[in-house]
Every structure is written in structure tokens, then in C-alpha cells.
Amino acid sequence: MKPLESVFNARCVAVVGASANPEKTGHIILKNIIEGGFAGRIYPVNPKAEEILGLPCHASLSAIDGPVDVVVIVVPSKFVPDVMEEAGGKQVSGAVVISGGFGETGNEELERRIVAIAERYGTRIIGPNCQGFNYTPNRLCASWPLVTKSGPIAVISQSGTVGAAIEMWAEQAGIGISGFVALGNAADVNETDLIDLFKEDPNTRVISLYIEGVQDGRRFMESVRSAREKKPVVVLKPGTTQKGARAIQSHTRSIAGRDEIFEAVTRQLGIVRARTITELFDYSLALGFMDKPKGNRLLIVTSSGGSGIIATDAAEQNGIRVVDLPGQLAAELKQALPPQCVVANPLDLTGDAKAERYRVAADIAVQYDAVDSILLIFGDPIPGACEVVNDLKEKTDKRIVVAYLGGGQTEEQEKLKLHRSGTPVFPTPERAVAALRVLLS
């Protein structure tokens, strides 16, 4: 079988089933490949059209004069075997079968047929019944929605919607992804193949999975164990209840297995397990941009007393020590800060705090070996937060965690600047503390 690297780094892409109708999937995918900035050759294939989106159409895959690395197939399932034969004849490396109507509807025979054709020619299949893939380093978005921002997170998902949500959140936050693959029925390429791919990808720092079941448990464990030597792996696996497990079987026709067994496997392999889509995103964010602190001693610096209390509770509940301030540190802070500030841990700079007050407090705190991490909670509109955080990160090897809430348009502006500079921002104290706990695990 041809290596998956040649699929993700394709230089020639054909869309079989391309459409001039903006509501059709064949139009949306072709449009996203074009607008995503793919620099290679793009071939729409539709025997009923002369051109689509300004590109000349071909009557069939075989009619294309020149090589094709990847074919995206968006035609009714009964026609897919013929397209796969054509793809094999052109020595296509990979086929992304968007079309449904295979094993998920009970038509296992048709699914086995296209896999057999692919194996005969050495073609890899992503899908069928999938949402495609996106590899931002190659600017190849053979999927939807259109996501172009490059970042350190690779998303592998057995649900197109769940994976798309993660990549869209990353895009909107200015964080970005390295890759996204919707596995669909995973008739050929599965989660283990992609773990093996992304563990070697220099553009990926964290591998994030949404999986409902594992095809080959032993191989999955071997791949994750190997990947964990190079980068973290985060997984969201639903089906923790009996009804959830039954829903999985009707969705992907896979067996969810006993959750306590999967939990034991994640602990054994050092996988970070998320329980919600939000946690999957937050943990991926933290592990994609931040390194492990030296210890679990935390200083909370906030302009919101309430947020500081919430963060304290969350930290204590997660085994993170909110340490008492050493006397000398407390004395220096009292001398440098206005009298209304509450010098303790959490360090409450009060509601009139500006960015400069955070700078003063943090510059003093990092001089002491009293804490390993500092959680900066910016409450209300505080311009200049990004500059304070970036300056602080240059001065210390302590882990700087940021939460920003209640800041309106200023918050959005500062958050975007922080993300672009490589610092994740969490919208609540609890989520920031949970991200720190994951770094410590």
C-alpha cells in the first residue's frame, strides 16, 4: 500500500462528482480546495459540465491527462467501484470516499468490494461515508468547513461533526490545526494508521482523537505507546453508559467495549482522557502549546476576587497546591501594590487593576522559588494583557496559564493576540486549572 504521507502531501487532486450547484457536497469540497490555497493541480470530474468554478471539467478520471495523487469521490455508492478501478489505473495514492451507502447501511459487501480494489492497486481509502481530510501545511482542505489556519493539533475523528467542531474552534481562536481526518467507516485507513502518521509529522505537537471503538486493540496500544514517546495523545471516547454504547453500535457499527477497560488502557499508556468535546479542545490547546511545569505549586493572580476563589477551589480539587506566600514575597508585594490589593494566594489585584499592575506583581513573584506555575486571571476589559504575558514568559521558566473573562471586545482582541503569540487563553478559571492539571499528569 502506498504511504499516507503521499496523500497528505498531494500535488494533484481530482474531485469526482464535482458540481456547479453550490448546495451539493461536490461543489463545497471543490470550492474549499480552491479557496484553501492548494497550490497543486485541481481536476473537477463531471461528464455533464464543461467547467466548474473556473476550472475545466473532465468526463472521467481516466480522461485526465497527467498524474493524480488523491481522488475525492462524491458520487452515489453504486458508482464508487468503477471510480476506484479508474483510480487504480492512474496509480492514485489515496481515495477519499465521501459517499455513503456502505457498511453503515448494512451494505458491507459493497464496502469490501472497494477495499479489495484499493488493495489490488495499492491505493489507500479514507472513508467511506466520511467528511474528508484537511492538512494545513499543504493547504489541502478536502473537507468542510473551510479551515486554513495552521497550528500544532492533529484531529482524528470517527465523527465528522465532532472533529470539525475542534478545528473550527481552533480556527476561530487563531490557534489552528495541522490536520483533520474524518474516518467515517474506516474501511481501510483507521485511527492507528493516522496516529502512526501524525507521530512523525513535524507540524503536529499533539494528537487528538474522538473514537467510538478500536478495530485492533493490540495495534492501537502499540501505536499509542510509540507516539507517546514523541508527543502527547488526547482522546475523547464516549459510550460510558449502556445506552451510549448501543448508540455507538448504530452509528459506526463498532463495539464500544467496557469503559473500565479502556480507562485502564489510557492510564497504562499515558493517554490524556477527555470527557467532553470542550475538554478535548482545552487539553489539546494546553498540550499543543505548553510544557509540563516543574511542580504543582500555583500562584493565582486576579483582578476578580470571585474568579480567584473559583480557581482556588478548582486547583485544590485537582491536587494542585495553592501555596501560602512566603513572608518576604508578601512583604515585597505589599510595598509595590496599592493598599486595596489583597496580598495572599489568590493575589487579588482588585477590580481597578490595569495591565501594569499585573506586570508589577508577576515580576516580583517570579523572582522567588515559591511556585511552579502562575495563573493570570484577567477579569473585565484589560488592554495590554498580551504584552504582560509575553514579557513575563521571556523572564521566567515558570508555567504561565491565562484565563480571560468578562472583557468584551477587549478580551477578544487580547485573546487573539495571545493565541497568535503561542499562549492559549481559557474562558473560565476552572478550564484553565483543568488544563494545568493535564500538563501535570
Please say whether the beta carbons of 126 and 132 come within 8 A.
Answer: yes
Averaged pLDDT, 256-262: 70
The amino acid occupying position 398 is: K
pLDDT of residue 427: 96
256, pLDDT greater than 60: no
- The pLDDT score that the predictor gives to residue 241 is 52
- Cα–Cα separations (whole angstroms), residue 368 to 35, 322, 439: 51, 15, 22
Q: What is the pLDDT of residues 19-31, one digit of tens each?
A: 999 999 999 999 9
Q: Which pLDDT tens digit goes with each residue over 287-313?
A: 999 999 999 999 999 999 999 999 999
How much of the chain, in percent, has pLDDT values that exceed 90? 90
Q: What percent of the chain has a predicted confidence (pLDDT) above 70? A: 95
Q: Decide if pLDDT at 248 tops 80.
A: no
For residue 272, what are the β-bridge partners?
Answer: 234
The whole-number average pLDDT for the span 123-142 is 97
Task: Encode pLDDT of 370-391 as tens digits.
Answer: 999 999 999 989 999 999 999 9
> What is the separation of C-alpha 259 from the centre of its chain, rounded to a whole number of angstroms?
23
Give the per-residue pLDDT at 216. Answer: 86
Residue 263's pLDDT is: 84
- Which residues does 91 contact at the CB level (< 8 Å), separation at least 6? 67, 121, 122
**Residue 31 corresponds to which cell in the numbers above?**
470550492
Q: Does 115 have pLDDT greater than 80?
A: yes
**Over the Cα atoms of the chain, what is R_g?**
25
pLDDT at residue 257 above 80?
no
The whole-number pLDDT of residue 240 equals 57
Residue 308 is predicted with a pLDDT of 97
**What digits encode the pLDDT tens for the residues 152-192?**
999 999 999 999 999 999 999 999 999 999 999 999 999 99
Residue 402, helix vs strand vs coil: strand
* Alpha-carbon gap, residue 59 to 64, rounded angstroms: 8
Q: Which domains, from first to last, does the chain contain?
A: 1-130 (3.40.50.720), 149-289 (3.40.50.261), 292-440 (3.40.50.261)
184-241 pLDDT, tens digit per residue, is 999 999 999 999 999 999 999 999 999 988 888 889 999 999 999 999 999 999 865 5
Q: Three-state SS for 363?
A: helix
User: What is the structure's pLDDT at 239?
Assistant: 64
